[in-house]
Amino acid sequence: MTASTVVVVAVLAILLQVSLQGWIVGAATTHVVGGSTGWTIPPNNTFYPDWASSQTFLVGDILQFNFETGMHDVVAVTKSGYDACDSNGQIASPVTSGPASIPLSSAGEHYYLCGITGHCSAGQKLAVSVVSSTPDSGDAPSPSSGGGSSPPSGSAGALVAPPSLVAVGLSLLLVNINNALR
């Protein structure tokens, strides 16, 4: 093996590792629910809907619920559970330790509330609409309850490719470079 081949193989290995870690392709966005206010009893009933309307939620993103353990929890619920502030409509076990990170693993409507008595009726509930790709591609807009949304900073117009596709493209490029060096 020549020195140039060794260099090309080393560069390929590094680029492949980087692409598979998501550093070359678009990475998930972590949305801190409620921004600096966090997950708490809000100042008004429109606080979380207003916050959600300023976000774009994509499959693979993460909701970060910042709260003090024992003071709040996060319960994923059905739409009817959300509408009625009823945690009996839960679709997963409550998360009782804060902060809580919840991945958005599928497109569609997702509903969350605080299961502590009185908190949901005081407005501590969240509905998000998750899309499978950027809204520019024609998917449904995100989320409901008032207003449009804006993409996460730095993601407008970003091209996101699967890591395997990036790895194949990089491999072909490096093989061509290697052949040209011979």
Domain that holds residue 75: 26-160
Cβ atoms of 8 and 177 closer than 8 Å = yes
On whether the CB atoms of residues 77 and 87 are closer than 8 A, the answer is: yes
Say how many domains are in the chain: 1
56 domain-assigned? yes
**CA–CA separation, 34 vs 84, rounded Å?**
21
Structural domain includes residue 96: yes
CATH number of the domain at 50, please.
2.60.40.420
Determine, yes or no, domain membership for 13: no
The mean per-residue pLDDT over the stretch 122-131 comes to: 96
Q: Note if the pTM is more than 0.85.
A: no
Which range among 13-17, 80-84, 138-142, 172-176 shows the weakest confidence by mean pLDDT? 138-142
With respect to residue 63, please indicate whether it lies within any of the assigned structural domains: yes
Given a cut of 60, whether residue 18 has pLDDT beyond it is no
Residue 6 lies in a domain: no
Q: Is the pLDDT assigned to residue 58 strictly greater than 60?
A: yes
Q: How many CA atoms lie within 13 A of 96 on its CB side?
A: 4
Residue 52, pLDDT > 60, answer yes
Q: Are 25 and 163 in contact (CB under 8 A)?
A: yes
